[in-house]
Amino acid sequence: MNNNQIIKRSPSNIAIVKYWGKHGNQLPNNPSISFTLSNCFTETKVTYNENGTDSTNMEFYFEGKENPAFKSKIEKYLLENEQHFSFLKGLDLKIESYNSFPHSSGIASSASSMSALIMCLLAIKYQDEPIDLQEASFLSRLASGSAARSVYPLMTVWGETPSLPSSSDEFAIPIGDMLHPVFKTYHDTILIVSSKEKSVSSRAGHSLMNEHPMAEMRYATARKNTEDLLTILKQGDVEGFIRIAEAEANQLHDLMATSTPSYTLKEPNTINIINKILEFRKDTGLPVCYTLDAGPNVHLLYPDSCSEQVHDFIEKELKDYCFENKYIEDKVLR
């Protein structure tokens, strides 16, 4: 019996224009743009053997321990999308997955974990041939929307926008080639405000957009922000970047606050950190800004040119607001 093994890493990503609201089979209600990160990633190992039957059997381990919840999520996904995975028939799969970031950091892991898994499965399909990244993005999207954006380095766009004729709701496309060099140097320092599980899942949040009174306004704003940000990214306009990044973060959390039922994921220290960042920017004139994911942690974004001053600022002014003084230094994956 042969015993084959594949190991793949896939990074997390942070959206600048946010995906919030979906329809059909994981199709986005507006386009989104994200930075692909370097240090926050999932590494997945798949060991596979022929089992002499027609069925696929699976074992799943997360950080060394069997994880039935994750296993059933993957089984459901493979069943719902079996037309894309006929190459798994007759295989026993042992899947082992690890995150580079601490489990208790409150960092969403579905983008990196689902895309890492898809990369492993496609490596079984393609064997010695290169993996088709568009297919990887398409299949990752079906598992977790934002995972579609994790298969390419630098920056990606997922969702149709008139500014990019090759853009699609079905998969993300890389836009690293059109970036002004300054955006290839961006850092994302993730200030950990809380380690608690999110009180409202992304899935529930997306579905609250269906009845949201501001839904159409939101999608129109996100479409416009996508087009504007693409121009900003080409021109190296860091001020324009700040305007859109912060407006998108604030709008995402305002949508949560104005849905029915309403909820808030920001915590007091989220606001304290944001106020400190705004004060620091005003005092120093440095192009630092923040974004938020669906959680209380603050992502501090800045170009490499000011990384020393920002590091001092984090140590002196921000660290005390972080849970156990924790923050994760990440940057754009090149």
Q: Which chain residues interact with ligand PMV by CB under 6 A? A: 15, 18-20, 32, 108, 110, 144-146, 202, 293-294
Angle at 73 between CA 70 and CA 74, to 5 degrees: 90
CB of 110 to ligand PMV, least distance (A): 5
Extract the tokens encoding 182: 């300054």
Nearer CB in complex with ligand PMV: 91/172: 172
Nearer CB in complex with ligand PMV: 155/310: 155
CA distance 5 to 3: 7
Residue with tokens 């994911």: 293
CB of 20 to ligand PMV, least distance (A): 6
Sign of torsion over alpha carbons 235, 291, 145, 31: negative
Q: What are the CA-CA distances from residue 218 to residues 25, 103, 148, 296 (Å)?
A: 21, 32, 21, 21
CB of 297 to ligand PMV, least distance (A): 12
CA distance 204 to 296: 17
For the chain, the straight-line distance linking the first and the last C-alpha, in angstroms and rounded, comes to 40
CB of 286 to ligand PMV, least distance (A): 26
CA nearest 153: which of 124, 128, 177?
177
Nearer CB in complex with ligand PMV: 32/167: 32
- The string over 199-216, giving b where at least 16 C-beta atoms fall within 10 Å of a residue's C-beta and e elsewhere, is ebebeebbebbeebeebe
* Residues in contact with 244: Cβ distance below 8 Å, sequence separation at least 6, in sequence order: 16, 17, 225, 228, 229, 232
Nearer CB in complex with ligand PMV: 93/249: 249
Nearer CB in complex with ligand PMV: 160/293: 293
Nearer CB in complex with ligand PMV: 91/300: 300
Nearer CB in complex with ligand PMV: 141/276: 141
CB of 292 to ligand PMV, least distance (A): 8
CA nearest 37: which of 212, 262, 203, 187?
187
* Residues in contact with 123: Cβ distance below 8 Å, sequence separation at least 6, in sequence order: 6, 8, 46, 131
Nearer CB in complex with ligand PMV: 248/313: 248
Residue 247: what residue type? A
Is 254 within 8 Å of 215 (Cβ atoms)?
no
CB of 204 to ligand PMV, least distance (A): 10
CB of 269 to ligand PMV, least distance (A): 19
Host H or E run for residue 310: helix 307-313
CA nearest 150: which of 38, 72, 61, 238?
38
CB of 74 to ligand PMV, least distance (A): 16
